[in-house]
Homo-oligomer: A and B are copies of this chain.
């Protein structure tokens, strides 16, 4: 069913995919292509999503290193804007370098673990460690919080907490918790959900989510349950909506756009998700390119069609920029 191109596809699959691709373009009334020369003439700043655009897990998507190097050689500004909260900026930089993106610098990486930390650091009660943060999430968030000397609990410390119901059982929460941060957590459990519920419902803690992606490209083998799964469970028990720092919201990029001081028509977003990347581009009032190497296939398109989110351009893969 997927519009994903990969070298090990069977012939039938490719025909099937080609058909879907054509109807996909037709239905969306998309420009099939924009060549790299025109792209470079039109834009000065390139925002890239990572998972599903540059790589799947640790597997590179063909041509991604060459495209980034090409753009940098042409004097373009390149930013990597990812909702993936499993890594800190430092850890993403390491990944970029390890995979061969040797020209990428820390300041070009804008990730939700960093964004959520910035959100909290900007508030005195957290900066001065008067209030604590309860974390449902992976190491990336905890590392960024530590790097900014914020006071947190939860995270991997609560991975093995079990709930065995008995009449006198109650979870006692730290009364100083002011915020609950929720990202993808591969060790989500009922204890964490209950702890977050109590913080939000009983202590009136802020509820902050990295993002709400339904699925994620965490490995190249299959699509995985995304952060949306974890965030939705906390929404359901608290009857509250979180502040979402990640795409499609513009929070992560506000300062970058201000510092760049560039006309929005010179910026383009390249991503694989309608409801995050392309929606984000709309919210930033910049142009967008949808690639089909990630999560957006015909099924997802049908599910999100009602949202009326359309990219300006479409590419099968980032390698078309070469």
Contact = CB atoms under 8 A, between A and B. Distances in A.
Interface of A: 57-59, 162-171, 185-190, 193-194, 197-198, 201, 212, 214-215, 218-226, 228-237, 239, 299-300, 303
Contacts of A237: 214-215, 225-226, 228-229
23 contacts: A57-B165, A57-B167, A165-B186, A167-B220, A168-B221, A170-B221, A170-B222, A185-B190, A188-B189, A188-B190, A189-B189, A193-B225, A193-B229, A194-B224, A197-B223, A197-B225, A197-B229, A201-B223, A228-B236, A229-B237, A232-B232, A239-B300, A239-B303
Nearest to A230: B233
Nearest to A224: B194
Given A164-B186, A166-B219, A167-B219, 16 more contacts: A57-B165, A59-B167, A165-B218, A169-B219, A170-B222, A187-B189, A197-B223, A197-B224, A197-B225, A198-B222, A214-B236, A215-B237, A226-B237, A228-B237, A229-B233, A231-B236
Contacts of A221: 167-170
Q: Which 6 pairs between the two chains have the least Cβ-Cβ distance?
A: A170-B221, A232-B236, A228-B236, A229-B233, A232-B232, A233-B233
Contacts of A187: 162, 189-190
A189 B198 CA distance: 19
Nearest to A188: B190
A236 to B, nearest CB: 4
Contacts of A214: 236-237, 239
Contacts of A218: 165
A134 to B, nearest CB: 14
A98 to B, nearest CB: 13
A205 to B, nearest CB: 15
A194 B228 CA distance: 12
A190, A226, A231: which has the most chain B beta carbons within 10 Å? Answer: A190
A201 B223 CA distance: 10
Contacts of A57: 165, 167
Given A232-B232, A239-B303, A163 B186 contact: yes
Contact of A171 (B222, B231, B299): B222
A27 B150 CA distance: 44
Contacts of A163: 186
Contacts of A168: 219, 221
A229 B225 contact: no
A252 to B, nearest CB: 21
Nearest to A229: B233
Contacts of A299: 201
Given A214-B236, A231-B236, A232-B233, A225 B167 contact: no
A58 B165 CA distance: 11
A251 to B, nearest CB: 21
Nearest to A165: B218
Contacts of A228: 236-237
